[in-house]
Amino acid sequence: MNSSSPRNPDPNLLRGHLDLILLSIIQGEAKYGLEISKEAQQRTGGYFDLRVGSLYPALHRLEKAGFVRSEFQNTARGNATVKLYALTDSGQRELEARKRDFQTFSDQLSRLW
């Protein structure tokens, strides 16, 4: 790994921010699990590599909390069905609140450096 590539995040740090990451990615357009994972990798240059073992339980937790809704849809080719996840109005409000909280946390943390 070269010096310009960031290390992968500490798993504990990732777990603590996974909901914020997922809500941010799902915002705008409904996506299925693999799409969410690929977009996280793409938008962060590979820094976030969301694994199935953490991705789907988190999506189910967000759905149970009412922040995400899901529906099954046939793929364009029609030979498979995928489960799409989309933000609810409550999820959009939660995302905005978490972004504000994270920004405040980040600002205060930077005061310690």
Instruction: Map out the domains of the chain as residue ranges.
Output: 11-110
Count CA atoms closer than 13 A to 36's CA, side-chain side.
30
State the Cα torsion 110-99-94-51 to the nearest 10°.
Answer: -90
Query: Which SS3 state, helix, strand or coil, does residue 112 take?
Result: coil
Task: For the chain, state the CA radius of gyration.
Answer: 16
Structure confidence by residue, pLDDT tens digits, 62-74: 999 999 999 999 8
pLDDT value of position 6: 66
- The domain defined by 11-110 folds into Arc Repressor Mutant, subunit A (1.10.10)
Statement: residue 9 has pLDDT above 50: yes
